[in-house]
Amino acid sequence: MSLSIFFDEIRSMFPAKRLKPKQVEGMETIIKAWQAEYPEGDDKFLAYLLATAYHETAHTMQPIKEYGGARRANRLYGIEGRNPSRARRMGNRRRGDGARYMGRGYVQLTWKNNYRKAGLHCGIDLIKKPHLAMQPDIAAKILIEGCMSGWFTGSALTSHIDPVKANYRSARRVVNGNDKALMIARYAKEFESALRAAGGVSNLHFKNSKEIEEELYKDGSRTIKATKSNDDAGKAVIGVGVGSGIAEAVTSYKDKLKEASESLSEYRAIADAFIDFFVWAASYWWVFGLAAGGLVLWNNKQIIKARISDEPKIGRLADD
């Protein structure tokens, strides 16, 4: 598999058709973890895993922490929150466990029981150190095994994908029911097409040399220049020159991605607050209904009283 071809094929999925170094590093981390965990695995599984990470991380391809903060997490997952019986069933038995074991990673790992399961698989203590789920290599293992084994919802990716066919739409049940299922299915098809165009992940071998400078792939109208700098088996920074046939050298980049992610986080937190309010209001619909009904009855009563008080006057005017 050629990483240059793979990244060129999926470039159009990203803003301005450009890949930032962190996005490239994130995808390479997931691909390497897949090779280590499932060396003979079908590309369709990896395509859906990449599509899931692409969606869940808001296209950053970096592990993220659940939006909304500790207070929201305790409300959603804690014994002091909305559903204490479910919280206890999922292992969150102490106050503050909702925030302690809130969503982290390429796909949102939540609940203490799932942190324990993921820690055992990765060989680390995620119960005492849940923040380690944010490390890219650990997050990649959790994404892969969590989806393949059905940790998150009880539905495993192997129930929806096999070497013959893939139901990318139903595969969303592995993570979150039918939420954005069609959209993520389209992402998966694009990643699958890119993997196949690049020769398949089973043929990919990361090179461990300190630096491979300038791997050029030309098709007449475009040139791709890939710089892989690594002691970690190849972190790629790829620039594209279109039309001129001259490779664009990528030497540095500003941390705008982090700023955009933080801004998005603020907006998501505000949206979550509105959603929480409407959910709360909906749960007390009968109170609002009674209040509205009482107001209507009171208003009608005032109208009737006004009409009755006006009737004698109308009668006297008629007599005159």
Residue 200's pLDDT is 85
> With pLDDT > 90 as the criterion, what percentage of the chain qualifies?
57
pLDDT of residue 294: 77
Q: Is residue 302 predicted with pLDDT exceeding 90? A: no
Over 80: is that where the pLDDT of 43 sits?
A: yes
**Taking Cα atoms as reference points, which of 147, 142, 144 lies closest to residue 130?**
142
- Give the pLDDT confidence score for residue 102 in this predicted structure: 96
- Residue 75's Cβ-count burial label (10 Å; 0-12, 13-18, 19+) is middle
Per-residue pLDDT band for 311 (boundaries 50, 70, 90) equals low
Q: Is the pLDDT of residue 35 over 80?
A: yes
The rounded mean pLDDT for the chain is 78
What is the mean predicted confidence (pLDDT) over 56-78? 94
β-bridge mates for residue 303, sequence order = none
- Is pTM beyond 0.85? Reply is no
- Tens digit of each residue's pLDDT (9 = 90 or more) over 146-202: 999 999 999 999 999 998 899 999 999 999 999 999 999 999 999 999 999 999 876
Residue with the bigger pLDDT between 289 and 10: it is 10
pLDDT for position 301: 73
The ranges assigned to domains in the chain are 3-206, 259-319
CATH of 3-206, one of 1.10.530.10, 3.40.50.2300, 3.40.50.170, 1.10.10.10: 1.10.530.10
Evaluate the CA torsion angle 67, 69, 74, 75 in order and state its sign. Answer: negative
Of 83 and 282, the structure prediction assigns the larger pLDDT to 83
Which phi and psi angles does 228 have, rounded to 5°?
A: -110, 120
The gap between the terminal CA atoms of the chain, to the nearest Å, is: 103
pLDDT of residue 56: 95
Residue-level pLDDT at 297 = 80
Tens digit of each residue's pLDDT (9 = 90 or more) over 234-249: 443 333 333 333 333 3
* Mean pLDDT confidence for 217-226: 38
User: In percent, how much of the chain has pLDDT > 70?
Assistant: 67
Count other Cβ atoms within 10 Å, centred on residue 34.
Answer: 23
Amino acid 8: pLDDT: 94
Asked if residues 190 and 183 have their Cβ atoms less than 8 Å apart, the reply is no
